[in-house]
Amino acid sequence: MAVWLAGRGLDVVAVDVSPAALAAGAELVTREQPPGRVRWVEADLDAGFPVEEGRYDVVVCQRFRDPALYPAMAAALAPGGLLAVTVLSEVGDAGGAFRAAPGELTAAFADLEVLAHGEGGGEAHLVARAPA
- For residue 130, pLDDT over 90 is answered with yes
* CATH class entry, domain 56-132: alpha beta
Q: Tally Cβ neighbours within 10 Å of residue 4.
A: 13
Average pLDDT over residues 36-51: 86
Give me the residue spans of the domains in the chain.
Answer: 1-44, 56-132
Mean predicted lDDT score pLDDT of the chain: 90
Cα–Cα distance for residue pair 64/124, rounded to 1 Å: 11
Where does the chain have alpha helices with state H? 2-7, 19-32, 70-75, 104-108
pLDDT in tens, 54-104: 788 899 999 999 999 999 999 999 999 999 999 999 999 987 889 999 999
